[in-house]
Amino acid sequence: MMSVLEQRRIVECAFLPLACSCAIDSNDSVTIQIRDPNTGQVYLNVTGISRTELSTSRQISQLVMQLRQDLDALNSGQRRKQA
């Protein structure tokens, strides 16, 4: 399995230029928060991801893809509300 630092770096860099923080607690549960880098507004906060689900680069890529889809869905919903 990848080290905690490797996992965090890959996930956090995947969302640039947005700000992303990846925290891993003592139970190996991962929390990912994606925010606007200028305002700090939280766009997405996901908790309860098992660190074992991120043991390979492929699994991390799949998670990043899913979170990007979630962000896109949230953005689409906000645009519809503003129209």
pLDDT exceeds cutoff 60 at 79: no
pTM of the complete model: 0.83
Is the pLDDT at 30 greater than 60, yes or no?
A: yes
Q: What is the CATH number of the domain that holds 44?
A: 3.30.160
Residue 63 lies in a domain: yes
Task: Using the predicted structure, report yes or no on whether residue 13 has a pLDDT greater than 90.
Answer: yes
- Considering only residues 1 and 69, tell me which one the structure prediction assigns the higher pLDDT: 69
How many distinct helices (H) and strands (E) make up the chain? 2, 3
Asked, for residue 49, whether it belongs to a domain, the answer is yes
Give the rounded percent of residues in the chain with a pLDDT score beyond 70.
Answer: 90
82 in a structural domain: no
Dump pLDDT digits (tens) for 37-73.
999 999 999 999 999 988 898 999 999 999 999 999 8
48: left (phi over 0), alpha (psi -120 to 50) or beta: left
Question: Number of folded domains in the chain?
Answer: 1
Sheet holding 29-35, edge to edge: 19-24, 29-35, 42-50
Residue 81 is assigned to a structural domain of this protein: no
